[in-house]
Amino acid sequence: MLELIHRDKNSRARLAIIKTSRGQINTPCFMPVGTQGTVKTLSPAELIEAGAQIMLSNTYHLFLRPGMDVIKKAGGLHNLISWHGPILTDSGGYQIFSLALLRKISDNGVEFQSHIDGKKHTFTPESVVGIQEELGSDIIMPLDECVHYPCSRDYAEVAARRTIAWAARSKKAHRGEGQRLFCIVQGSSYEDLRRACASELIDMDFDGYAIGGVSVGEPQKLIYNITGMVAGLLPEQKPRYLMGVGLPEDILEGVESGVDMFDCVTPTRYGRNGSAFTSEGKLIIRNSPYSEDFRPLDSECSCYACRNFSRAYLRHLFNTDEILGLRLVSLHNIHFYLGLMKGIRKAIQEDKFREFKREFLARYMKAGSRKNNAH
């Protein structure tokens, strides 16, 4: 599934191509999150124009709404949402643990009540794989047990053992031709549990390996330590996916550790709240200093928002609750993230990743700090 193109000479960063039945993905890559079959406020055409190669959707949400009957009648998720590139679907495990009204976890699976209408459902490793096969997912994530931080070692061990057992059942149940099945390494902040989990999953030989259970409340340094340690254990010839980690500085750290794939709701969530990511740091467009600022959000960006509109106009849109404002900043943020990944790939190809990272962060973090202090 993965073809290694180049390894950076000065770090563990790597350039690769992930092959799917719906096209190739150049990595390192960022996957815009379309939880319910849409990247909020943006059309598939806008995502393609921004450079998106793959999008992520969520099994839990799609199973509840619009439901599998509707998706099957539409001919699968790709047809329903008019996105014809690769789709990775998360298992919905995290959403069950964080959103469901009531849930009961056992070795068999998870019984839960919908956060929408309270109806009871059961997800097992087998049913979750089956749902994603019916969705037509190009990359399937198995059911796992994600724990929050801090977590006792005893509970983290139970969850990791359960995740391993569920992964084995998911692999046995997987039938979808051309649909790749990944697995998820758990173990919370405990290095020995992470190592044991990774070892058993590697022996099962999955199509790709995800690092789960990070960015769930732990300090940034711990996230980086876990990512670096686990990524170093994973097979060279398989994709490595860091789940739900997505600030620019976090992505750069993950790439340096050898991670290939990233996803996060951050660019669109921040965009809807008026926060723009720029080459000179994060910018809060609602702030009064931008009321007469007729520059684009980012002079180095070529997105539709930056080509056509000023900070002053965008601030006006947000302060009058106009939908166009949150659309434009979300669009810009997706462009920024995908542009960052393009720059990362170029730097790896030239064996200049660490130089790229250092220069990017020096400008991004310094300027962002200056803006925050000023406003």
The last residue of one of the domains, among 264, 284, 303, is: 264
- In angstroms, rounded to a whole number, what is the distance separating the alpha carbons of residues 183 and 283? 37
Dihedral angle, C-alpha 327, 328, 329, 331, nearest 10 °: 80
H helices of 56-190, in order, are: 59-64, 68-73, 77-81, 93-99, 125-135, 153-173
Same domain, 29 and 129: yes
**Tens digit of pLDDT for each residue in 22-64?**
999 999 999 999 999 999 999 999 999 999 999 999 999 999 9
- In this predicted structure, the answer to whether residue 370 has a pLDDT above a threshold of 90 is no
- Which CATH number fits the domain that encloses residue 219? 3.20.20.105
Quote the domain boundaries for residue 88: 2-264
Give residue 61's pLDDT: 94
Specify the amino acid at residue 129.
Answer: V
Helix axes 220-231, 191-204, angle to 10 degrees: 40
Are the C-beta atoms of residues 58 and 35 closer than 8 Å to each other? yes
Task: Examine the domain organization and report whether 291 and 193 are in the same domain.
Answer: no
- 370 and 321 within one domain: yes
Q: Does the structure show a pLDDT above 50 at 372?
A: no
**Domains in the chain, number:** 2
Question: Does residue 235 have a cis bond before it (omega within 30 degrees)?
Answer: no
| 306 and 253 belong to one structural domain | no
Coil, helix or strand for 41? coil
Using DSSP's 3-state secondary structure scheme, residue 51 falls into coil
Say whether 143 sits in a helix, a strand or coil.
coil
C-alpha to C-alpha distance for 177 and 238, rounded to whole angstroms: 18
Calculate the average pLDDT of the chain.
Answer: 95
C-alpha distances out from residue 1 to 193, 206, 313, Å: 27, 10, 45
Residues 239 and 321 in one domain: no
> Is residue 241 domain-shared with residue 299, that is, in the same domain?
no
Tell me: do 90 and 104 sit in the same domain. Answer: yes
CB 353 within 8 A of CB 344: yes
For residues 174 and 253, membership in a common domain is answered with yes
Would you tell me how many other CB atoms lie within 10 Å of the CB of residue 69?
Answer: 8
337: closest CA among 368, 360, 358? Answer: 360
Q: In degrees, to the nearest 5, what angle opens at C-alpha 349 toward C-alphas 346 and 354?
A: 80
Query: What residues are annotated to the active site?
Result: 90, 263
Q: Which of 91-95, 234-238, 260-264 has the lowest mean pLDDT?
A: 91-95
Each residue of 137-159: pLDDT tens digit?
999 999 999 888 999 999 999 99
Cβ burial of 27 (10 Å; 0-12, 13-18, 19+) is buried
With tokens 């700090």, the residue in question is 369
Same domain, 224 and 349: no
- CB neighbourhood size of 62 (10 A): 26
Query: What is the β-pairing status of strands 103-105 and 55-58?
Result: unpaired
Among the three residues 203, 235, 264, which one is the final residue of a domain in this structure? 264
Asked whether 50 and 334 are in contact (CB, 8 A), the reply is yes
31 is written with which tokens?
Answer: 């996957």
**Residue 355 and residue 215 share a domain:** no
Other beta carbons within 10 angstroms of residue 8's beta carbon come to 22
Residue 216: pLDDT above 90?
Answer: no
Which of 264, 281, 314 terminates a domain? The answer is 264
Q: Do 166 and 30 lie in a common domain?
A: yes
Q: What is the C-alpha separation between 187 and 10, in angstroms, rounded?
A: 29
Lowest mean per-residue pLDDT among 216-220, 265-269, 324-328, 365-369: 365-369
Shared-domain flag, residues 283 and 190: no
* pLDDT of 255 strictly over 80: yes
Kindly state the average pLDDT of the residues 1-8.
97
